[in-house]
Structure 1
Amino acid sequence: MKNKIHDATFNELGKYIIVDRRPKKKLTPGITVVTAGTGDIPIALEAIATCKLMGCSANQITDVGVAGIHRLFNKLQELLESKVIITIAGMDGVLPSVITGLVDAPVICVPTSVGYGAHFEGLAPLLTMLNNCSPGSAVVNIDNGFGAGYIASIINTKS
């Protein structure tokens, strides 16, 4: 692809190709993308790339799932200053519920198909996120970093 389209950007880990020939413009800050584990990073990269294409910058916080929740609390101030947060988690999918309970920003939840055990290729975290009892969250489909980045950017630029 790179041989045919010389200005294409390929991100192997994020599994996307971008060709953006628009003039560069200043990005609107306010989005934070949070992953529970390192296996969720490819989906986060897709979300961040989508935010950038939509005119928004996104900060990234990785590996702060409930198994190491102390790492999340070290990033709490950054979360509290965010206009919108994208949370990405596989396995049990609990991280979005925790974050939604801590912040007043809208939280977009992305279940992932990564992990081990009985997560049913993302169905278990999807159901956990849909049953979140903390108000202020919305769920996109399994591995849908694009959808999360798109809606986060719309919310970010309208607020």
Structure 2
Amino acid sequence: MSPKELLEKYKKGEISLTEALEHFPDRGIEEMGFATIDTDRLSRTGLPEVIYASGKTVEQVSLIAERMYQKGIDVLATRATPAMFESVKQRIPGAQYNELAKTITYKQSQTPATKGYIAIVAAGTSDIPVAEEAVETALFLGNRVEKIYDVGVAGIHRLFHRLELIRNARVIIVVAGMEGALASVVGGLVDKPVIGVPTSIGYGANFEGLSALLSMLNSCASGVSVVNIDNGFGAGCQASLINKL
């Protein structure tokens, strides 16, 4: 039985948790000493194991990526440096690097793109790196993506010029630093879920994204949810789950 079938039997009460685990020789785990890869995460949650590269060494990132590749798992590494990419590319020649997003990706099989799309809206050009992390994550997870960049509230007419494209999305990610007002503005103009991503872009009183985070959390626009500061990856994952409902 597949992991998904075992999970369904467990949910229905047909087998106990102990019996279900007995059918997993490795229990969805790939031990590497310095890392333990969750090989069953995709079938269990709809989202695959992903490498968070920050804090890891170049060798650790490349070894984890290689092991995932060998196990048939598509590779996404976030917060990766160019040196990490060069090392991964030696082990996985087809790997790609987005310098702005700081992501390494490798897809072993092409996932059919969703019919609906995710609109990713960035307030300013300085917010694009975080927006690009959301873009790469959403694309990796098999979503169509439309990018709308540099449409912040300082020139709100730029947003209205792209409003139809935004409104036709199934879910919208809004990436903004400074005071983070764009998430509320968009939330008041659309009938789709809005995911706010505060960024650490801004002058001193921005407190490295804290002011934008609090603004988004205090939004009076209904339907706006918020992820952590600079967390384009988290927003891409949440938007993908919504888009595939």
Contact 1:36–1:89 (CA under 8 A) maintained in structure 2: yes
**Cα distance in structure 2, aligned partners of 1:66 and 1:122:** 17
- Residues 69-148 of structure 1 mapped to structure 2, 5 A cutoff: 69-148=156-235
Contact 1:91–1:117 (CA under 8 A) maintained in structure 2: no
Whichever residue aligns with residue 44 of structure 1, its letter is A
Q: CA deviation at 1:18?
A: 1.2
- Kindly indicate whether residue 93 of structure 2 is the aligned counterpart of residue 24 of structure 1: no
Whichever residue aligns with residue 6 of structure 1, its letter is P
- RMSD over equivalenced CA pairs, Å: 1.0
SS of the residue corresponding to residue 118 of structure 1 reads: helix
Whichever residue aligns with residue 24 of structure 1, its letter is Q
TM-score normalized by the length of structure 2: 0.62
Q: CA deviation at 1:5?
A: 2.5
**Cα distance in structure 1, aligned partners of 2:133 and 2:205:** 25
Q: Which runs of 4+ in 1 moved over 2 A?
A: 2-5
SS of the residue corresponding to residue 135 of structure 1 reads: coil
TM-score normalized by the length of structure 1: 0.95
Q: CA deviation at 1:12?
A: 1.1
Q: Percent identity?
A: 55
Whichever residue aligns with residue 160 of structure 2, its letter is F
Q: Which runs of 5+ in 1 are unaligned?
A: none
Deviations 1:124-145 (A, max 9, x none): 0000000000100100000000
Select 2:134's aligned residue among 37, 42, 47.
Answer: 47
**Cα distance in structure 1, aligned partners of 2:201 and 2:105:** 24
Larger mean Cα displacement after TM superposition, 135-144 or 1-10: 1-10
**Cα distance in structure 1, aligned partners of 2:92 and 2:137:** 20
Deviations 1:2-53 (A, max 9, x none): 23331211111111111221x2132113210000000111111111111112
**Cα distance in structure 2, aligned partners of 1:14 and 1:84:** 20
**Cα distance in structure 2, aligned partners of 1:118 and 1:42:** 21
How many residues in Structure 1 have an aligned counterpart in Structure 2?
157
